[in-house]
Amino acid sequence: MTSPETKTAVYSTVDGVDIALDYVVPTKASPENKAPILLWFHGGGLLQGTRKGTWPHLRNAPEKHGLCLVSADYRLAPQTRLPGIMADLVAVMSFIRSSEFSKLTGDSVDQEKIIVSGGSAGGWLALLIGSGVGFEACGLEAPEKPLGIAPIYPISDLLDPFWTTKQHPVSYFPRVIDRSELEAYLDPKAPPTSYSTLDSTRSIFYHYMVQEGILQDLLLDETGIEPNEFSIAPAIASGKATVPPTYIIHGTIDDKVPIQQSIDVVEACKAKGLPVVFDAIEGADHLFDMKEDVTMDNMYKFIDSLLSK
């Protein structure tokens, strides 16, 4: 499938840091036929990754599904702690709703119709945006809710023992990673970054984090904010948060993010009567959707159902 041109824009954080995002406008979009926006965040535990790591079903979305795909970078921990990353979410949501973005896209996107998705930690960012959880604790006003969210094998709760229990080695990695291999990235005073290539040394940071059980530390050290402030299911269950129509998909044998992270959110939504669709993919592991033959039809049907209302 031939893809339209990928263009790059810059959005600015509240503290004046410029961060890149890529966007692809469908070739058939026009001011008279505006394309809805699919905002996608990459995974990597908020520690690694890049907006360039989009899988085939995402790259096909503009022409196949008529969606303007926006893939946004955000600052990475621990050089930027979670409150700073949350500020980036506010900034990017504001940017894609701005007159500047409308102009960049030839006034061919529908800024009232935004679906937020992401994989793994990116799925968690989608849940945070959709629920509004965590923003107040960071001293931020939550962005206006999107039309819907579609988290893919998301993290959802830092209090899960998976994030605090050491694994030497982790179940899916063949050896114990020595701290010296990641020393430069573990330093919170190292230069901040919002981009790490998929083949860089930083690409094993997630595995090291799971190995040592230190995600809470990397994201929240020195912030004074408790990890439960970012727990999605408890906030929904207590009535403190709601979500727009939500689609969640997770593989049953995922050993990088336990499927229970999704199940807890789904059960909380159902208990509160919130609209949620859950696809548990039997025998699928983490990153299953990066394969060429995985088209994520149910996710795009869900998106289409929201847009057709």
What does the DSSP assignment read for 233-286?
A: HHHHHTTS---SSEEEEEETT-SSS-THHHHHHHHHHHHTT--EEEEEETT--T
Where are the chain's structural domains? 7-307
Mean pLDDT of 270-280: 98
Banded model confidence at residue 14, pLDDT cuts 50, 70, 90: confident
pTM over 0.95: yes
CATH topology of domain 7-307: Rossmann fold (3.40.50)
Q: What is the pLDDT of residues 21-79, one digit of tens each?
A: 999 999 999 999 999 999 999 999 999 999 999 999 999 999 999 999 999 999 999 99
Residue 167 has pLDDT above 90, yes or no: yes
- What was the pLDDT predicted at 198? 85
- What was the pLDDT predicted at 2? 58
For the chain, give the mean pLDDT: 97
Mean pLDDT of 179-193: 96
Nearest CA to 125 out of 45, 13, 182 is that of: 45
Residue 99 has pLDDT above 80, yes or no: yes
